[in-house]
Amino acid sequence: MRSCLVTGGAGVIGSFLVKRLLLDSTVNVIDDLSSGELSHLDDVLGGQNIKFKKGTVTNQNDLLEMMRGTDTVFHLAANGDVRYRPDKPNDMDLNINTIGTYNVLEGMRKLDISNLIFSSTSSVYGLADIIPTPESYGPLYPESLYGSSKLAAEGLISAYSSLYGIKASIFRFANIVAPITRTIGKNVIPDFIDKLRATPDKLLILGDGNQRKSYLYVEDCIDGMLYLYRKQTRKVDLFNLGTVDTITVNEIADIIMAEMKLTNAKKEYTGGKIGWKGDVPLTFLDISKSKKFGWSPKHNSAESVRLSARGLLAGGSY
């Protein structure tokens, strides 16, 4: 039976992944619960094949303890608040995402674990001038500290793969959406739901609402990771995971207002082409490579958003 460690396993993607892995594996979970929530694992915690520890990837001992005896590491733990904020220390992404990944790799080296699946991000592409953007795009000029910290993690994984024979899949995620949410660093869907619940007659949209991105449903994301890791031929490989289309923030607002039967709410805008410092107005990943390997998402962006909104409105069950 495969034995996995999932870092960030109480997060939105992590908790879905943990439940999927439990179908045929034992699973250790480490999460500092800073943005993940233990309640996401309520229905599986206490089972005999899962072990949970509240701990952080910035602590090598926490990691080693939970890594011992596993053969495959899914490294999803990260500072989940992608946005730049003046009140956030500038070294938070560096510490959690970059040095955290270094700690994961050192743990794997010490314990001779040689399978790694890593969640990177479309943010590494910055303001790419090729849209949709393929994995081969370069040079990379990330706009955000988050994007730069994930690019750094990718490089570390590549070097460790070469030096220590670790098989590694790196996935550059589009916006992953789900019928559950985290408490901080919420994405646009729960953010709009919260706002409309508070003031049903209006909706404040960051930027001009024309920011255009692709949104991948969490189950599609997990299918992609598990499938492509099995199929890859390089020792370290890298795949975009997204949908074949994009939608605008305005369209997301329309979907959510329709689901909430609040189509008369007035949209208001903070203005500008981006929602926050370090945001990009257009993200669209070319997923031809992943498709060539045999993976395709089951849902397009609008469906992913609608499914997620419905689940959230129904109270996060799924």
Least distance (Å) between residue 142 CB and a second copy:
5
Nearest CB to a second copy, comparing residues 140 and 313: 140
Nearest CB to a second copy, comparing residues 87 and 201: 87
CA proximity to 137, closest of 125, 149, 152: 125
Nearest CB to a second copy, comparing residues 52 and 125: 125
Least distance (Å) between residue 105 CB and a second copy:
8
Least distance (Å) between residue 25 CB and a second copy:
28
DSSP strand pairing (2-7 vs 50-54): unpaired
Helices 301-313, 188-198: crossing angle, 10 deg rounding: 50
Nearest CB to a second copy, comparing residues 47 and 272: 272
Contact 270, 205 (CB under 8 A): yes
Least distance (Å) between residue 202 CB and a second copy:
30
Nearest CB to a second copy, comparing residues 76 and 151: 151
Nearest CB to a second copy, comparing residues 9 and 278: 278
CA distance 256 to 193: 7
Least distance (Å) between residue 159 CB and a second copy:
4
Contact 81, 93 (CB under 8 A): no
Q: Tell me which residues touch a second copy (CB under 8 A).
A: 84, 90-91, 94, 98-99, 102, 106, 109, 124, 126, 135-145, 147-149, 151-152, 154-156, 158-159, 161-163, 236, 238, 277-278
Nearest CB to a second copy, comparing residues 121 and 187: 121
- Within 8 A by CB and 6+ apart from 296, the residues are 287, 290
Least distance (Å) between residue 248 CB and a second copy:
22
What single DSSP character describes residue 195? Answer: H
What single DSSP character describes residue 38? Answer: G
> Which residues face 282 on adjacent strands?
212
CA distance 171 to 185: 20
Query: Residue 139: is the preceding peptide bond cis (ω within 30°)?
Result: yes
CA distance 207 to 282: 12
- Within 8 A by CB and 6+ apart from 198, the residues are none
Task: Please state, in angstroms and as integers, the Cα–Cα distance from residue 299 to each residue in 5, 15, 264, 282, 305, following that order.
Answer: 28, 20, 27, 20, 9
Least distance (Å) between residue 101 CB and a second copy:
10
